[in-house]
Amino acid sequence: MTLSHDTVVDLLDGLDLFASLSDEEVDSLARRVDTVSWEPGTLVFAEGDAGDSCYVIHSGQVKLTRRLADGQPIALARSIRPRRSGSRAKTSWRSCVAMPTRP
């Protein structure tokens, strides 16, 4: 699914992460966005993966999990739009797993 430029601008403009950007800066950022989608159950990123992207959820739900010391998974959160996933994505290793649970 490809989102319209106006939809992307509205989505980005509604996030605290981009609150300090001017309208022109948000517009410029929106022009660089790639729209991606995954089927439920698809692994988006895993613990230990290098963070090279930041995801903003437009629709659906994403479950964030991580493994305890004994290897058991624990749910950290279920993100529903508009949320940012992959915090500090450009500067850190992933500390959880992200997997869509519904489209």
Q: What is the mean pLDDT of residues 5-25?
A: 91
At residue 6 the predicted structure's pLDDT band, cuts being 50, 70 and 90, is very high
Q: Among the CATH numbers 2.60.120.10, 3.30.1360.10, 2.40.37.10, 3.90.79.10, which is that of 38-103?
A: 2.60.120.10
Other residues' Cβ atoms within 10 Å of the Cβ of residue 49:
18
> What are the start and end residues of each CATH 2.60.120.10 domain in the chain?
38-103
Cα-Cα-Cα-Cα torsion 103, 30, 11, 62, nearest 10 degrees, comes to 30
| Helix H or strand E encompassing 9 | helix 5-13
At residue 67 the predicted structure's pLDDT band, cuts being 50, 70 and 90, is confident
Contact criterion met (CB below 8 Å) for 8 and 29: no
